[in-house]
Structure 1
Amino acid sequence: MKIAVVVITDQGEKVGRKIHQALGESKLFVPARLGKDKESDLLFEGRLRDLVKELFAEFEGIVFCMALGIVVRVIAPYLKDKYQDPAIVVVDEAARFAISTLSGHEGGANKLAYAVANSIGAQAIVTTASETNKKIIVGLGCRKGAKKEDIKRAITEGLKMRGLSLDEVMCIATVEIKKNETGLKEACVGLGVPLTFVPCYKIA
């Protein structure tokens, strides 16, 4: 998925940069007035609404790091239908929530919201009806330093052995001492599945 990450404030830029770095193939759009000059940034001037018009034509997914109300207003003129609109995810500047806002199921915004949430330790907010029917929680343990690809393979093969698919998975759950395992977090970002950490005392 070709993804744009858009920010409009200094605080939003900090959050957006984390997301941009975690997602890898994304492009980070920063207002020229913020004075940022990193080579990976795409600076823009003028109205956010004008930028959004261009992004709708070019990107499959857009992550906005700003208030949800702002996003609703700027995307409204360009909406068509769930088969043509890009996946839209909104993240608040405190990095608390990643909200699947538009094209959740068909466009992939739900999976994008989960990936973004995993990358910054936020909570994904997904309201699509199909998400409420997911029943499977994958319990996972791994050795320190386990690689992303090995973890992804273990999850997908384990599900296959049980006749299950990734689309049925509500979340990946592991013990909280694994919260700094980069490979684990990257695997869940890549799979687009929420990662939940369980306190040690609850499973002792």
Structure 2
Amino acid sequence: MSVGVWLVRPAAEALGQRVAEAVGGEVVRPWLQEGRSREVFARLYPTRAQWVLIGTTGIAVRFLDGLMTDKRRDAAVVVLDEGAHFAVSLLCGHEGGANRLAYRVANAVNAVPIVTTASEAVRPLTLGVGCRLGARAEAIEACVKLALGTRDLGEVREVATVDLKAQERGLLEFCEWHGLPLRIFSRAALAARPWVTRPSAWVERHVGAVGVCEPCALLASARATLLVPKTTLNGVAVAVAQDSWEAA
């Protein structure tokens, strides 16, 4: 059952197609269906396990009114604004996979994933990861554990990397092993925020920014401070950032 990508307006057609391609979904155009949009959504909502609604959270809330029955059975919903700024996990974050879907949508359009479930809120650490081509998940895990030291992986909220590494199999496997979402930042975003303790000429030549792991870790949280600077092991580089209200 594919993800339904609901377009509130025809103006979002190009964005909807991009999202659908990224998440393996199918675009739904309510103006081609018989009946009012809200009635069409009510009819189609149970036919998908997950939905991406491209529009406002207000519209999504109104459409969902009366349709929700149980968090273990309801279809997950992510809301993406038409400007592609924020991908909001609105309904069934854990049980339905909306949290994971929000990251997939955000990575596809360079948006910010918004996750508000309590278990994520109490995890204060973000990991920035850079690695050589073909780095294995075991090597990434070893470097992560070295960087964390006495801290636990259970304290990590998300992993962040550069767009060049978005499909790196070892990194994807590591995130899958530990149930961690992977957030992707563009090379331009890293170049614009060069927060590094040890600039790398090699990284600058190949990536276009003076560093990967440190700026990624810091960009992943608006209120983060660098807890562990760039730590390297066997072709993997990891930095750890920690939420800090003083930095907000």
**TMscore range, shorter length:** 0.7 to 0.9
Determine whether 1:99 maps to 2:64: no
- Residues 1:19 and 1:161: Cα distance change in structure 2 (over 3 Å): same
**Closer, same or farther: CA 156–164 of 1 in aligned 2, 3 Å:** farther
Q: Report the CA distance between 1:67 and its aligned residue.
A: 1.3
Whether contact under 8 Å (2:163, 2:185) holds in the other structure is: no
State the match for 1:36 in structure 2: none
After TM superposition, give the deviation of residue 196 of structure 1 in Å. 4.3
In the other structure, the counterpart of 1:154 is 137
Q: Deviations over 1:49-73 (max 9, x none)?
A: 2222233322111100011111111
Instruction: Give aligned-pair identity as a percent.
Output: 34
The answer to whether 1:202 aligns with 2:195 is yes
Partner of residue 172 from structure 1, selected from 136, 140, 159? 159
C-alpha distance in 2, partners of 1:184/1:169?
A: 20
Match of 1:130 in 2: 119
DSSP 3-state at the match of 1:64: strand
Question: How far did 1:104 drift?
Answer: 1.4
- TM-score of the two chains, using structure 2 as the length reference: 0.61
Q: Which has the larger radius of gyration?
A: 2
CA 1:155–1:62: 2 relative to 1, 3 Å: farther
1:87 Cα deviation from its structure 2 partner:
0.8
C-alpha displacement at 1:105, in angstroms?
1.9
2:18 equivalent in structure 1: 18
Instruction: State the aligned residue count.
Output: 183
SS of aligned partner of 1:90: strand
Residue among 54, 73, 76 paired with 1:87: 76
Mark the runs of 5 or more structure 2 residues left unpaired by the alignment.
146-150, 200-248
- Structure 1 residues 77-109: Cα deviation after superposition (integer angstroms, max 9, x where no partner): 211121221111100000000011111122211
Q: In structure 2, what is the Cα distance between the partners aligned to 1:70 and 1:129? A: 24
- Is 1:61 paired with 2:50? yes
SS in 1 for 2:182: coil
CA distance in structure 1 between the partners assigned to 2:2 and 2:143 by the alignment: 28
**Cα shift readout 1:24-70 (whole Å, capped 9, x = no counterpart):** 2x12112455xxxxxxxxxx343222222233322111100011111
Higher mean C-alpha displacement, 52-61 vs 192-201: 192-201
- Amino acid across the alignment from 1:172: V
Match of 1:173, as an amino acid?
A: A
Q: Indicate which of 88, 105, 110 corresponds to 1:121.
A: 110
- The letter for the 2-side match of 1:68 is T
Please give the secondary structure, in 2, of the residue aligned with 1:106: coil
Give the distance between the partners of 1:85 and 1:13, measured in 2 at CA.
Answer: 26
Pick one of 59, 70, 80 that aligns with 1:70: 59
The Cα shift of 1:76 comes to 0.6
Query: What letter is aligned with 1:75?
Result: L
SS of alignment partner, residue 85 of structure 1? coil
The one of 171, 176, 183 aligned to 2:167: 183
SS in 1 for 2:17: helix
Please give the root-mean-square deviation of Cα atoms over the aligned residues, in Å.
3.4
Distance 2:91 2:53 in 1: 12
| TM-score, scaled to structure 1 | 0.73
